[in-house]
Amino acid sequence: ILDASTLGKIEISGKDVVTFLNRVYTNDWSKLDVGKIKYGLILKEDGMVFDDGTTTRLNEDKYLMTTTTGNAALVLDWLEEWLQTEWPELDVSLTSVTDHWAVVTLSGPKSKDVILKLNPEKNNEIENLTFMSYKSIKILGIECRVFRISFTGELSYEINIPWPYATFLWKKLLEVGKDYNITPYGTETMHVLRAEKGFPIIGQDTDGTISPIELGMNSLLSKKDFIGKRSLSRNYESKKYFVGFKTLNPNIIIPEGSQIFKLDR
């Protein structure tokens, strides 16, 4: 169980949201159904990776964008700048709801069992929740947003609950999860899990000078026009690539920030 409340959350509403998302994300958002979730990558004008996250279609004209924790305010400010100075004709409004919703994430093979034990009368709604989909579900009588999404590579559920009820839900989940040896985990553990899965963390694995091509995320570059696309067409040779290393001895842990170089023997 993880407290993921610090993730940035921006509600986007209006009849031109799809057009807006297609311009700010590198991938195509024309066919996202209501209740579905999609991962997106945001570039700056220079073509370098700025932020990433998921966006969920809550209803016909309302979406929820998540951002990295460190860039929550920066992304909102940046999106507002584009809306107000470049695309004022778009019917789109942005609302920061980062502090409205607390996020409790359950991960692991038994995560679904824990939720079902907590909320047996809603079993069908949880059972029918497919990967990368969302549903508004009452848990313990409280209206929650439940997202079937994972940053660990394991079966995972992100429960968004109005912040005044967060501690209540957290304690209840720990209580019903005792039979499954539930345990809280933090960002260091999350970093290891996502690294094993091959998921990058924008802002930690990137520094504002990394392109999506260097990250190995070419598949997220659509043919449509998006912010940063023109810069990606520049002819330059990059020798940076995002790769994973595994030590021969698993007991050896390489400290973060270590330099890697080749020895001539």
Side chain identity at residue 228, one-letter code: G
Average pLDDT, the chain: 89
pLDDT at 247 (0 to 100):
84
**How high is the pLDDT of residue 122?**
60
Tell me, what's the pLDDT at 104?
96
200 or 41, which is more confident? 41
Give pLDDT tens digits for 142-174. Answer: 999 999 998 888 899 999 999 999 999 999 999
Query: Which of 36, 42, 1, 247 lies closest to 132 in space, CA to CA?
Result: 36
Type and span of the H or E element at 23:
helix 17-24
Amino acid at 87: W
CA-to-CA separations, 240 to 91, 154, 157, 200, 243, in angstroms, rounded: 39, 29, 34, 15, 9
43 close to 227: Cβ distance less than 8 angstroms: yes
Asked whether the beta carbons of 234 and 224 are under 8 A apart, the reply is no
pLDDT tens digits, residue range 196-234? 777 777 777 777 788 888 888 888 888 889 999 988 877
Instruction: Give the separation between CA 122 and CA 140, rounded to whole angstroms.
Output: 10
- Under the banding of pLDDT at 50, 70 and 90, the label for residue 119 is confident
**pLDDT value at 195 more than 80:** no
Token digits of residue 262: 């080749």
Q: What angle do CA 205, 206, 208 make, to 5 degrees?
A: 170
239 confidence band (pLDDT: 50, 70, 90): low
Q: Residues with Cβ < 8 Å from 255, sequence gap 6 or more?
A: none
Q: Which of 6, 40, 37, 10 is nearest to 22 (CA)?
A: 40
| Strands of the sheet with 101-107, listed across from one edge | 2-3, 101-107, 156-162, 142-148, 133-139
Give phi and psi for 171, each to the nearest 5: -65, -40
Rounded to an integer, the average pLDDT of 94-109 is 95
Global confidence as pTM:
0.86
pLDDT digits (tens, 9 = 90+) for 45-87: 999 999 999 999 999 999 999 999 888 999 999 999 999 999 9
47 within 8 A of 206, measured Cβ to Cβ: no
Nearest-angstrom CA–CA distance, 21 and 28: 8
Bigger pLDDT: 22 vs 257 = 22
Residue type, 202: I
Q: How far is CA 125 from CA 102, 136, 221, in A?
A: 21, 9, 34
